[in-house]
Structure 1
């Protein structure tokens, strides 16, 4: 007989990956700026891409920039983000061998068992990180190297999130026209510059929120105009209001 565990919300953030667990009902249409792995911890869930039909699955990989809705009907949602500008992305691609630009629905018993184990035992964050590395087969062989002009732009976004670097400024630094710079940036990150910048700012805001427990301060520190701007961006990227997540979260570690 299936043993039922309390429906806890947990969020863990590392530099190159993030892991979320929690009860979920329906997530409105949203799109991430990096690849996401969704898992129904105890039962299948439903997913719909854009104006398509609802499909049921146990595991799904959604590429960056793909609008989709999710319905877990109160089940436990396991969600893993892999940052596009990290070597973890190469391990993720190799481990799951999924199409880069289309939805992938599948069954992976090892993945389900590993995430179920993490959710139920709630181990130390270092243990969780090692489990994910084992799952992704991170053996140190792969090293992601981005175009240095793109890497410079990403470094600026992360180092000075509250500054709005213009496309013209970044293009000049890369010695490219704005249109050529934007094309190059999307080619290496899979999403437009502004969406990528917002994504990085969201996670910087989450890190700050973990430290100061003040959404307005966290939003301003990460480059958002105010808490409302942060909330709208959060909903656009995750399909849910941040207040719902952070009111119910039981464990949050950065």
Structure 2
């Protein structure tokens, strides 16, 4: 069940935080922050922020189906803990464990249950791969995030965990990554991307996997998801955004989106989620220095 998002006041953060409901109304605006307010003193309304190959969700815990994301994900409890289990063949599902923060590796089938608000930080597979995060670092990042203005941006959130973009190591792969941003419906065949990188298809496939940590088609799918959200934020319908981003149909998008995030794109939109693209500067990807090999 999606938690009540009506206005409420909350005592300052502590390990035994309890929400106390006061006089509530249905105003959907986030309360303005004062210098003495921490994040948890404002209601958590659903929003998605997109910033090139990074993304962030902040909002109520959802009844997500098991899913596997192309990007490594930091899950953060904004109030009470969430439950997490992961699937690893051949042993199968792990035991449920209670978490306040967790790093979920890319391409890891997992299942999250939460009755409280959460934040998910989706890392850029190209520039954020070199950030090993210990549980101590995750806990420290969470504590810092909880003290921020409730309208914190995606770059502020990543900064709380001290995640700064690293240099892309392969100029040829970076060229393809940038072109996906410009032409999301392109590269229907891997050979087209390999040609842009001046590599044979087999060499490109192997080199892309090493540089990004994902197969090319899986990374392309991840980027197309964000591009769909960007288009919807600019007023396009899901169907139009899906076709223009390279999906064969809205049904194709719905199936792929649910497999990656645990619910369909239409379900996300139906939540009344706010889509924030104010920090989405595609040109920033081109400013990252690359090292030629």
**Which residues of 2 match residues 170-181 of structure 1 at below 5 A?**
170-181=193-204
How far apart, in 1, do the equivalents of 2:64 and 2:258 lie? 9
**How far apart are 1:133 and its partner, in Å?**
5.1
Is residue 2:114 matched to residue 1:77?
no
Whether the aligned pair in 2 keeps the contact of 1:31 and 1:64 (CA below 8 Å) is yes
Segment drifting more, 143-152 vs 32-41: 143-152
Whether the aligned pair in 2 keeps the contact of 1:114 and 1:131 (CA below 8 Å) is no
Q: Describe the superposition over 1:54-109 as per-residue Cα deviations: whole angstroms up to 9, x where unpaired.
A: 2221111012111111111x2112101121223x554xx16x2x4xxxxxx66844
Q: Provide TM-score, normalisation by structure 1.
A: 0.82
How far apart, in 2, do the equivalents of 1:129 and 1:214 lie? 24
Gaps of 5+ in 2: 1-10, 12-17, 21-41, 278-293
How far apart, in 2, do the equivalents of 1:164 and 1:240 lie? 26
Aligned to 1:10, which of 33, 47, 62?
Answer: 47
Question: Partner of 1:57 in structure 2?
Answer: 99
Whether the aligned pair in 1 keeps the contact of 2:68 and 2:109 (CA below 8 Å) is yes
- SS in structure 2 at match of 1:64: coil
Aligned to 2:238, which of 208, 215, 231?
Answer: 215
**How far apart are 1:138 and its partner, in Å?**
6.0
Whether the aligned pair in 2 keeps the contact of 1:21 and 1:76 (CA below 8 Å) is yes
Q: 1:244 to 1:148 in 2, by over 3 A?
A: same
Structure number with higher strand proportion: 1
How far apart, in 2, do the equivalents of 1:250 and 1:8 lie? 8
**How far apart are 1:22 and its partner, in Å?**
1.6
Moved runs in structure 1, 4+ residues, more than 6 A? none
RMSD of equivalent CA atoms: 2.4
How far apart, in 2, do the equivalents of 1:153 and 1:108 lie? 32
**Which residues of 2 match residues 94-113 of structure 1 at below 5 A?**
96=133, 98=134, 108-113=138-143
Q: Provide TM-score, normalisation by structure 2.
A: 0.72
Gaps of 5+ in 1: 99-104
Is residue 2:191 matched to residue 1:191?
no
Aligned to 1:27, which of 64, 70, 90?
Answer: 64
